[in-house]
Structure 1
């Protein structure tokens, strides 16, 4: 089943959700700001995305700039920052089985179908 990690306040996330709805396939929505990732879940998603944790960070967010920018952080410290501040997580994330993409642009969803 397809899962979209979604923030309804984000335009790109809403576009990704619309794209998923048009697939006519079963999917589930996870509003990750309301139901935050566990450490295990976040690490699994990062693995499926095949990226380094820093690539999942919204580095222009004020939380990042004020608290983390310019610091030499380990992958685990970055994951901890994402868990403490889920607003820092890029969105939307679409997971389909063992594959995942950050759907920016929304057409990236096609890569995992």
Structure 2
């Protein structure tokens, strides 16, 4: 079963979820704005993505621009910031076993199915 960190208000997230269903995948949907991943879960996802926390930030978000733009933080601090402000987490993220991708574009998920 694949897991998608999903925001139903995001068109790319909806397209990615539909692509997973079309591909016949059993999907666990995590609406991460309501059910925010813990710091430990986020670390695991980042490892699977092979990304640093700062690379996963949505830098166009208002909260980022107002509170974090131009500031330097450690990886641990960025993770804490994303847990406290889940809208800053790039979406959608699809996890399949020990692999993960960001569904931008949605077709990226096909590489891990």
Q: TM-score, normalised by structure 2?
A: 0.97
> Where does residue 7 of structure 2 map in the other structure?
7
Root-mean-square deviation (CA), in Å? 0.7
Does 1:86 pair with 2:107? no
**Aligned pairs (5 A) from 1:26-65:** 26-65=26-65
For structure 1, which runs of at least 5 residues remain unmatched after alignment?
none
CA distance in 1, matches of 2:61, 2:25: 33
Q: TM-score, normalised by structure 1?
A: 0.97
Q: How many residues are treated as equivalent by the alignment?
A: 113
| Offset at residue 25 of structure 1 (A) | 2.1
Hey, which bits of structure 1, 4+ residues long, moved more than 2 A? Answer: none
Does 1:25 pair with 2:29? no
For structure 2, which runs of at least 5 residues remain unmatched after alignment?
none
Deviations 1:67-102 (A, max 9, x none): 111111111111111000000100000000000000
**Partner-residue secondary structure (3-state), 1:104:** coil
Deviations 1:1-41 (A, max 9, x none): 10011000011110111111101121111111111101110
CA distance in 2, matches of 1:28, 1:37: 14
